[in-house]
């Protein structure tokens, strides 16, 4: 793997902690968690105690006041161990910032410290059975009734919901107002009457990560749980946060394709076919040369995206470009590398096969790659 030039000594200490955590607390349990299609809630508490959660959050709420590189290091260490099948970043870098940036002071005090320790785990629910790409067409409704809202609708494909203590739910508070009619609610699912967790869906990859259906039948949500206390801001908040989510997905894609290319080079140097090492066959060498070139270009592009992000210049189009291109290239490179492993590449226990299965999600989640291109196209 090529490492970013931006890491400090403190980042490297953090890396050692993360590596140890993954080796001790995750890898020995991988098979059991895969069988259950979910990690235990206790994992989040252990991750919090080890300082792995909410690294970017302000210390005022229990965070570590870190930066995007802490998130990158967690992704790099997960990738090194081929343990990309659980998105630690979803809790820490995607959901917590909604509350930190847009929540009321009491919402921040109530949820953020517990997210930092892992006492609370969280999910975010936008997608519905009738569609995820066209968010404005969502059917889940929240109707004001005095000091609370009544939430009714369904969500699907929701990551982390099996262990979540609360879920950030997108719902329509005004069905005639288009994007301005969408609001976000913090739903304390453990105490919400009318809420039901549906199936934990079986997936082709990311097996440790749970992915669930959710049902809301007149769920009583206190008005104080409307994110930020004002209706109609939900779509705006989602659009504000999606570029960073897409950058994180690009980080994961680039690191993953680098790891796949490195593993394929190592294998091709070792494997003998027709009395020579695989890498000595020009056809194989060309494949590896292509993979190495694409990953090098992708890394350079990613570093540029991170610089833009740090300079506050990383907008919606930049996020869409980074996400579609890197996730697409990631799948191409991993597929090319898997081929070099021959039959071993098709065996579930090999890291390259796991990378192949896990990486496919990148082209779908966080907004499909077709939607990314549509977004870019509309900005031209
Ligand atoms: C494992 C997993 C985890 C997920 N986690 C979450 C989560 O935590 N929270 C959450 O809210 N959602 C989550 N999702 C949902 C994900 O964001 C959606 O699946 C995605 O946005 C696509 O929505 P859809 O599945 O309804 O597909 P659809 O919107 O029905 O799209 C179907 C196809 O049509 C294409 N399409 C749609 N519109 C256009 C258009 N205008 N032009 C061209 N093509 C188009 C799409 O690209 C896609 O290929 C997750 C999904 C998966 C698979």
- What are 86-130's pLDDT values in tens digits? 999 999 999 999 999 999 999 999 999 999 999 999 999 999 999
Distance 175 CA to ligand 1 centre (A): 22
Query: 245, 258, 263, 287: which is the annotated catalytic residue?
Result: 245
317 vs 192: CA distance, rounded Å: 38
- Quote the tokens at residue 9: 């000594």
pLDDT at residue 129, as a whole number? 97
Ligand 1 and 68: CB distance under 6 A: no
92 vs 83: CA distance, rounded Å: 17
pLDDT at residue 191, as a whole number? 84
Burial label for 339, CB within 10 Å (0-12, 13-18, 19+), is: middle
pLDDT at residue 4, as a whole number? 66
Ligand 1 and 164: CB distance under 6 A: no
* Main-chain phi, psi angles of 340, to 5 degrees: -70, -20
Q: What is the pLDDT of residues 316-366, one digit of tens each?
A: 999 999 999 999 999 999 999 999 999 999 999 999 999 999 999 999 999
- The whole-number mean pLDDT for each consecutive block of 10 residues of the chain, a chain of 380 residues, reads 75 97 98 96 97 97 94 95 94 97 98 98 97 95 97 98 97 96 96 95 96 98 97 96 97 97 98 98 98 98 95 96 98 98 96 97 98 97
pLDDT at residue 60, as a whole number? 97
Say how many residues make up the chain. Answer: 380
Q: Residue 145 in 3-state DSSP? A: strand
For the question of residue 317 being annotated catalytic, the response is no
Distance 11 CA to ligand 1 centre (A): 34
Distance 374 CA to ligand 1 centre (A): 14
Ligand 1 and 213: CB distance under 6 A: no
Name, in order, each residue with C-beta under 8 angstroms of 331's C-beta and a sequence gap of 6 or more: 356, 359, 360, 362, 363
Domains and CATH numbers, the chain: 9-117 (1.10.540.10), 122-232 (2.40.110.10), 236-378 (1.20.140.10)
- For residue 154, what is the enclosing H or E element? strand 148-159
Ligand 1 and 238: CB distance under 6 A: no
164 close to 189: Cβ distance less than 8 angstroms: yes
Distance 89 CA to ligand 1 centre (A): 19
* Main-chain phi, psi angles of 192, to 5 degrees: -95, 110
Ligand 1 and 127: CB distance under 6 A: yes
Q: Whose CA is nearest to atom 48 of ligand 1?
A: 368
62 vs 39: CA distance, rounded Å: 23
* Residue of 258, 245, 259, 294 whose CA lies nearest to 87: 245
């Amino acid at each position: 793997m090529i490492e970013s030039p931006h890491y400090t000594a403190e980042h490297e200490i953090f890396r050692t902690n993360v590596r140890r955590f993954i080796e001790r607390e995750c890898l020995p349990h991988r098979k059991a968690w895969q069988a259950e299609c979910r990690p235990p809630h206790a994992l989040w508490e252990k991750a919090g105690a080890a300082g792995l959660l909410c690294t970017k959050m302000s210390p005022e709420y229990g965070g570590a006041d870190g930066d995007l590189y802490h998130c990158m290091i967690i992704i790099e260490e997960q990738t090194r161990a081929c343990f990309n099948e659980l998105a630690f970043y979803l809790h820490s870098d995607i959901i917590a910032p909604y509350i930190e940036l847009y929540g009321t002071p009491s919402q921040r005090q109530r949820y953020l410290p517990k997210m930092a320790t892992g006492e609370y785990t969280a999910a975010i629910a936008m997608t519905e059975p009738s569609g995820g790409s066209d968010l404005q067409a969502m059917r889940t409704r929240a109707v004001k009734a005095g000091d609370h809202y009544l939430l009714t609708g369904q969500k699907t494909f929701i990551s982390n919901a099996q262990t979540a203590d609360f879920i950030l739910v997108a719902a329509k508070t005004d069905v005639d107002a288009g994007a301005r009619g969408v609001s976000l609610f913090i739903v304390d699912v453990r105490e919400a009457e009318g809420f039901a967790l549906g199936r934990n869906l079986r997936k082709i990859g990311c097996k440790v990560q749970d992915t669930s259906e959710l049902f809301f039948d007149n769920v009583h949500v206190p008005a104080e749980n409307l994110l930020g206390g004002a209706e109609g801001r939900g779509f705006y908040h989602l659009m504000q946060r999606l570029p960073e989510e897409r950058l994180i997905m690009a980080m994961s894609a680039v690191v993953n394709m680098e790891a796949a290319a490195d593993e394929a080079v190592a294998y091709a140097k070792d494997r003998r076919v027709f009395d020579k090492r695989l890498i000595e066959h020009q056809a194989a060498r060309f494949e590896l040369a292509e993979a190495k070139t694409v990953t090098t270009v992708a890394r350079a592009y990613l570093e540029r995206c991170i610089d833009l992000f740090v300079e506050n210049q990383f907008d919606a189009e930049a996020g869409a470009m980074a996400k579609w291109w890197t996730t697409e290239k990631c799948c191409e490179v991993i597929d090319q590398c898997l081929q070099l492993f021959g039959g071993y590449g098709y065996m579930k226990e090999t890291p390259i096969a796991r990378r192949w299965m896990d990486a496919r999600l990148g082209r779908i989640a966080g907004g499909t790659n077709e939607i990314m291109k549509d977004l870019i196209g509309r900005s031209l």
